[in-house]
Amino acid sequence: MPTVTEALNTMDYGPAPESPAIATEWLARGPFGHFINGAFTKPGDTFDTVNPATGAVLAQVTQGTADDIAAAVKAARKAQPRWEKLPGHARARHLYALARLMQKRERLFAVLEVLDNGKPIREARDIDVPLAVRHFYHHAGWAELIGDEFPGMVPHGVCGQIIPWNFPLLMLAWKIAPALAAGNAVVLKPAEYTPLSALLFAQLCHEAGLPKGVVNIVTGDGDTGAALVAADVDKIAFTGSTEVGRRIRQATAGRGKALTLELGGKSPFIVFAGADLDAAVEGVVDAIWFNQGEVCCAGSRLLVQESVAVPFAERLKARMARLRLGDPLDKSTDIGAVVHPVQMARIREIVAQAVAQGADLYQPGTVEGNFCPPALLTGLGAANVAMQEEIFGPVVAMMTFRTPAEAVALANNTRYGLAASVWSENITTALDMAAQVRAGVVWINGTNLFDANAPFGGMRESGFGREGGRAGMLAYLRNPAVTGKPRTPPPALSALPGDAGPAGIDRTHKLYIGGAQKRADGGHSYAAQGTQFPLGGRKDIRNAVEAAHKAARWGTTTGHNRAQVLFFIAENMAARRDDLAAMSSDAEAEAAVARVFYWAAWADKQDGRVHATRASHLTLALTEAHGVMGLICPDESPLLGFVSTVMPAIALGNRVVAVPAQAAPRAALEMCRVLDSSDVPGGVVNVITGPRTDLARCLAQHDDVAALWVFADAATCTLAEHESAGNLKSVWSECRARDWHGNEGKDGEFLHRSVQVKTVWVPYGA
Ligand code: NAI
């Protein structure tokens, strides 16, 4: 024990360990079975869960089998209808009871999480557990309000939820609280490295008197997860690696399951010369070294404006040298243990590769066991592995930039789009960056801010769907299913040679690309509606996507401008009403004009929201267009179906590549003439006629198509979902015919599916 004078001289921390006793006592309940139908099952084949800081075995948990999953899904299936039928108020009381019980066990949860995951107690105690509790309170509120706030919407039913090891309890709360509030029952599989806090939560479900089967927890590894994906569930919500996310996308294709994916990230942390550099250094500490860098949204690409790069790196290094690495249970530890030796090996490997590719490594301290000192990589290029691959360790790679434009280019030079952190005291610079960075969450002069009422989730290969707030609730609700007949597959098309078509056939029809009429690339056509239409193919899709990208200004123009254009389209359609009616019917032509008016009305009204989250912040949930969308328009009502899919998408700022009804494309091509005379900028709407299934495949596979709607037969829907796994675009597919004349033709889903939420955190009133 140092004397007071010595302590004052060294200003060092003394040990301040939290006792593990509370958790070790609880662990004596093991070995653990699953939690199914309100009770723990007998343990089956078990595996060890280990304390990564010491290597000590904490408990044995059961490796879930397909039968275990089936039993859990069966229990959930049985419990769900009654749970859904409970008044929202009754569900709210259950969620509130869970929140209260969790709050009473906060210390146990925190210590257990530290033992199982290796994260510092400060983080588990001050961030993870209180946020998890907050999620249950927040969603108790949503359960209460659901009838008022989401009228007409219904839960999915049984949700399979798979979570990773980096925030075991918090991820559980993010998944279970909204699902339950919305009236779903769940089967959750925690990560194999960190199953314990989920088992403690299961015990609380029992203690809280939650109806049996509403929450089921099945432990196990990736095979157990795969069994859950394959099981009879109505929705899968997954957080984890992009690679597994892709596999889940493929496995669920065509199975009619709703899907949300929260995947990896390689988030930029951008520091401008005008930033408060000390605050930004602390930001890096929070963003990268927080939780040993095991945060999917960690700002692991540090982009610093050249003029301040040297002093910034110096301050950073000074701070790194003083970060405390060690016993995760010690309250003054900054960096704890990496979750597992496998993860540690991965970190070492990527750092070694980065150095081999020319990076300089600064890492005070030595790598020992599962402890990885903070690391800074400098002198690397944008192609270096440390700039491209998710590391999931306390490692940051730093590059410099000169101009804001270069910062944007570097920031967006990634397959991912989860989060970004922007540091500048200049509000114009900061907000301009927020607008341009492609990420689901942007923090200005801050980082890693989370709240139950703030939507969180990614774009591009970081996945789709949001968790938190209103957008998060929508992910656990749906509009009542469309009940029309299943669509039938389109007939196979035979290509007619372009110039050698039968004499006398009207050959005036063309594709519509970039505002101009084009022949199909191969020059072929196909017969439909008594005439010939161009047989579009992959090259035509490519050209159309390119043209749509060039029309990017459509996305940044005002909603008012877009509304005017849409109103003008409606006016011109009305002028050609008889032509349009001749291709459809009087009723359809009338309805189509009205539908354009309807979406014109929305063009300047799909507002974002300002969410109430934490003090001193504005949390803006902005609704951003996806960018370029692919649309497979329905067969039924070829004119109205085309208008009903194209108009909401463009009203909200997207540019589209649309494939009209294969057997009746004439009305859509007639609409292109209307668009031409209605001030629609070239490239905003592109129309490719031809074989629907093949064109859907091309759109699904195209990396520059950000979202896809498929109103087609089941086989085409399945194919599109499967093939979208490449860039993980969000796909909305529906294989039953809609009644486009009624409310089904314009329900809220079109609005919701035309945009994605970008959450921007701005300091306010601090
Ligand atoms: P992972 O994606 O394999 O595991 C996440 C969860 O998915 C676990 O519960 C796991 O059991 C389950 N799982 C694994 N294979 C599955 C399958 N085929 N079907 C269904 N579920 C399956 O992640 P892992 O292996 O733990 O970590 C690998 C890398 O993934 C990390 O180094 C990191 O880069 C990234 N990662 C990203 C996370 C994020 O929050 N975005 C979280 C965890 C890991």
* Helices 666-676, 559-575: crossing angle, 10 deg rounding: 120
Look at residue 507 in the predicted model and tell me its pLDDT: 62
Peptide bond between residue 31 and the one before it cis (omega within 30 degrees of 0): yes
Residue 193 near residue 339, CB atoms below 8 Å: yes
- CA terminus-to-terminus distance, the chain: 40
CB atoms within 10 A of CB 483: 10
Ligand 1 centre and the CA of 219: distance in Å? 14
Query: 264 in ligand 1 pocket by Cβ < 6 Å?
Result: yes
Query: 346 in ligand 1 pocket by Cβ < 6 Å?
Result: yes
Q: Which tens digit of pLDDT belongs to each residue from 627-686?
A: 999 999 999 999 999 999 999 999 999 999 999 999 999 999 999 999 999 999 999 999
How far apart (Å, rounded) are the C-alpha atoms in residues 491 and 55?
Answer: 62
Among 78-92, 181-195, 291-305, 537-551, the minimum mean pLDDT is found in 291-305
Q: Which atom of ligand 1 is nearest to the CA of 171?
A: 40
Query: 678 in ligand 1 pocket by Cβ < 6 Å?
Result: no
Identify the residue whose C-alpha is closest to ligand 1 atom 36.
241
Tokens representing residue 27 in the block: 């662990």
Mean pLDDT of 441-448: 95
Query: 170 in ligand 1 pocket by Cβ < 6 Å?
Result: no
Tokens representing residue 570 in the block: 């409606």
How far apart (Å, rounded) are the C-alpha atoms in residues 629 and 710?
Answer: 11
Identify the residue whose C-alpha is closest to ligand 1 atom 13.
222
DSSP-assigned beta bridge partners for residue 377: 361, 397
Query: 221 in ligand 1 pocket by Cβ < 6 Å?
Result: yes
Look at residue 731 in the predicted model and tell me its pLDDT: 97
Q: Which atom of ligand 1 is nearest to the CA of 265?
A: 41
672 catalytically annotated = no
Q: Which tens digit of pLDDT belongs to each residue from 27-67?
A: 999 999 999 999 999 999 999 999 999 999 999 999 999 99
Provide, for the chain, the percentages of residues in helix, strand and coil under a 3-state DSSP scheme, each rounded to the nearest 5: 45, 20, 35
Look at residue 376 in the predicted model and tell me its pLDDT: 95
The three-state DSSP-derived secondary structure of 55-110 is CCEEEEEECCCHHHHHHHHHHHHHHHHHHHHCCHHHHHHHHHHHHHHHHHCHHHHH
Residue 387 near residue 397, CB atoms below 8 Å: yes
Ligand 1 centre and the CA of 244: distance in Å? 6
Compute the Cα dihedral for 256, 262, 263, 269 and give only its sign.
positive
Ligand 1 centre and the CA of 239: distance in Å? 7
Query: 162 in ligand 1 pocket by Cβ < 6 Å?
Result: yes
Residue tagged active-site, from 205, 296, 633, 717: 296
Look at residue 496 in the predicted model and tell me its pLDDT: 79
Query: 195 in ligand 1 pocket by Cβ < 6 Å?
Result: no
Question: Which domains are present in the chain?
Answer: 21-263+473-478 (3.40.605.10), 268-457 (3.40.309.10), 511-616+623-754 (3.40.605.10)
Q: Which atom of ligand 1 is nearest to the CA of 243?
A: 2
Ligand 1 centre and the CA of 223: distance in Å? 12
Strand (E) positions, 417-541? 419-423, 441-444, 463-464, 477-478, 511-513, 516-518, 525-528, 531-534
Look at residue 317 in the predicted model and tell me its pLDDT: 95
**What's the pLDDT band for 4 if we cut at 50, 70, 90?**
confident
Query: 220 in ligand 1 pocket by Cβ < 6 Å?
Result: no
Q: Which atom of ligand 1 is nearest to the CA of 262?
A: 41
Tokens representing residue 78 in the block: 């049985």
Q: Which atom of ligand 1 is nearest to the CA of 191?
A: 9
Identify the residue whose C-alpha is closest to ligand 1 atom 9.
191
Average pLDDT, whole number, for the chain? 94
Mean pLDDT of 304-319: 96
Tokens representing residue 753 in the block: 């599916």
Amino acid residing at 9: N
Query: 160 in ligand 1 pocket by Cβ < 6 Å?
Result: no
CB atoms within 10 A of CB 696: 28
Identify the residue whose C-alpha is closest to ligand 1 atom 42.
240
Give yes or no for residue 503 having a pLDDT over 70: no
Query: 641 in ligand 1 pocket by Cβ < 6 Å?
Result: no
Q: Which residue has the higher pLDDT, 61 or 461?
A: 61
Site to probe by mutation for ligand 1, drawn from 166, 167, 241 as the one with most ligand atoms within 8 Å of Cβ, is: 241
Tokens representing residue 627 in the block: 């960018």
pTM beyond cutoff 0.85: yes
Q: Specify the length of the chain in residues.
A: 766
Look at residue 500 in the predicted model and tell me its pLDDT: 46
Q: Which atom of ligand 1 is nearest to the CA of 295?
A: 40
399-431 as b/e, with b when 16 or more CB fall inside 10 Å? bbbeebeebbebbbebbbbbbbbbbbeeeebbb
Q: Give percent above pLDDT 70 in the chain.
A: 98
Residue tagged active-site, from 18, 123, 192, 262: 262
Identify the residue whose C-alpha is closest to ligand 1 atom 6.
164
Question: ∠ CA 292-437-515 to the nearest 5 degrees?
Answer: 145
Site to probe by mutation for ligand 1, drawn from 244, 248, 249, 288 as the one with most ligand atoms within 8 Å of Cβ, is: 244
Radius of gyration from C-alpha coordinates of the chain: 27
Look at residue 493 in the predicted model and tell me its pLDDT: 85
Query: 263 in ligand 1 pocket by Cβ < 6 Å?
Result: yes
Q: Give percent above pLDDT 90 in the chain.
A: 89
Question: Which residues are CB-neighbours of 122 under 8 A, at least 6 positions away?
Answer: 331, 332, 333, 334
Query: 296 in ligand 1 pocket by Cβ < 6 Å?
Result: yes
Residue 628 near residue 655, CB atoms below 8 Å: yes
How far apart (Å, rounded) are the C-alpha atoms in residues 625 and 549?
Answer: 13
205 catalytically annotated = no
Look at residue 18 in the predicted model and tell me its pLDDT: 93
CB atoms within 10 A of CB 604: 16
- Write the DSSP string, 591-649: HHHHHHHHHHHHTTT---EEE--STTEEEEEEEEE-SEEEEE--SSSHHHHHHHHHHHH
Ligand 1 centre and the CA of 189: distance in Å? 12
Identify the residue whose C-alpha is closest to ligand 1 atom 8.
191
Mean pLDDT of 236-255: 96
Look at residue 498 in the predicted model and tell me its pLDDT: 64
Q: Which tens digit of pLDDT belongs to each residue from 369-388?
A: 999 999 999 999 889 999 99
Give yes or no for residue 502 having a pLDDT over 90: no
How far apart (Å, rounded) are the C-alpha atoms in residues 186 and 641?
Answer: 36
Give yes or no for residue 300 having a pLDDT over 70: yes
Look at residue 261 in the predicted model and tell me its pLDDT: 96
Give yes or no for residue 241 having a pLDDT over 50: yes
